[in-house]
Homo-oligomer: A and B are copies of this chain.
Amino acid sequence: MTEAVARSVRQPSMADVARTAGVSAQTVSRTLRDSPNVNPETRRRVLDAVEQLGYRLNNAARVLSSGRSFTIGLVLLQSGGYYSRSAVTAGVEAAAGHAGYAVNIATIAGLDTGLMERALSKLADQGVDGIIIAVPLISVTQKMEDITRDIPTVTLDGSRTAGARVLGIDQLEAGRLATQHLLDLGHRQVWHVSGPDEWIEARQRLQGWQECLAAAGIDAPPALEGDWSPDSGYRQGQIIAMIPDVTAVFAASDEMAFGIIRALRERGRSVPEDVSIVSVDDIALAAYCSPPLTTVRQDFYRSGQAAVELLLDPDGANASVVPASLSVRASTAAPRSH
């Protein structure tokens, strides 16, 4: 009882441990940081004292004196892409934790320069050692440049700042894979429901689609723009359903794909008999809704990890690209032959 009270009065400090172990505070510090020059016997005494006092290193003091916070800041968008967001977060957290870093999250409510600046400032104020930006930067302001110049930064979507390194997730390839799959099945034209134009992912997938069609000598139809949500897919799907000869659609996300499918079905167009649909993400549900979705899988967890590795890599040679692969299921088929 007394012990509990005493503890809540003041946490033991390194000096307390030093006193109990009969050494200097510096030796305690060395022991805890696995410094090489510590006698095994001394080390044991120190660790015993730590255990006995329930000592816990004071992070703030460590940060202040060492100048390093062992914390990585992660900038996320609050809405949209639940799946990819949490997978990225988990990947970042795992890799960071593995390297002895903590993760500090800053979510922004929308793609707005002011919000972005505030998020970066917040992280800078927290003294993070590095920043991972997992949302697209619409336009890069001076203030953002200032921060990313001082603090190592990796962007996960391809947008660039001075000083920020970029982790490529090959979205062009994703767009190409999806489109080519439809062409290979025999479709003569592929429509596209894209993500919001501010998102680099969206633009790159769209570009991959365009390039793939161009390579096949096909004029791309106008792209329809969604906002990643099933609902926006549904709305664009209603438009697509009004166009008679559409046989293949590439949707920029699984969630939009399901919205499109619903709209098509309500108009009497079945999937994949009348219209084939491919999308990107491969969320857990993709295989279980009906029809099971043909989709380009991207390993977001791995991307999160890779971002951390890139960030912590001193020579920065580590710019790995996370690959994409196609999961073929039942939402695509050859067009009706007649």
Interface residues of A (CB under 8 A from B): 4, 7-8, 54, 56-61, 63-64, 69, 71, 78-79, 82-83, 85-87, 89-90, 93-94, 97, 102-107, 109, 121-122, 124-127, 146, 149-150, 229-231, 233-234, 255, 258-259, 261-262, 265, 283-285, 287-290
- Bound-state Cα–Cα, A61 to B235, Å: 52
A295 vs chain B, min Cβ distance (A) = 13
- Asked if A61 contacts B59 (CB within 8 A), the reply is no
- Asked if A285 contacts B290 (CB within 8 A), the reply is no
> For A103, what are the chain B residues with a Cβ–Cβ distance below 8 Å?
104-105
- Bound-state Cα–Cα, A102 to B58, Å: 18
> For A87, what are the chain B residues with a Cβ–Cβ distance below 8 Å?
82
> How many copies are assembled?
2
A107 in complex: contacting residue of B93, B106, B126, B146, CB < 8 Å: B93
Q: Which single residue of chain B is at the shortest CB-CB distance from A57? A: B125
- Asked if B83 contacts A258 (CB within 8 A), the reply is no
> For A93, what are the chain B residues with a Cβ–Cβ distance below 8 Å?
78, 105-107
- Bound-state Cα–Cα, A122 to B93, Å: 12
A164 vs chain B, min Cβ distance (A) = 15
A-B contact list, 23 entries, CB within 8 Å: A56-B124, A58-B127, A59-B125, A60-B60, A60-B69, A79-B90, A86-B86, A89-B105, A90-B107, A93-B106, A102-B106, A105-B105, A230-B287, A231-B284, A231-B288, A234-B288, A255-B285, A262-B289, A262-B290, A285-B285, A289-B289, A289-B290, A290-B290
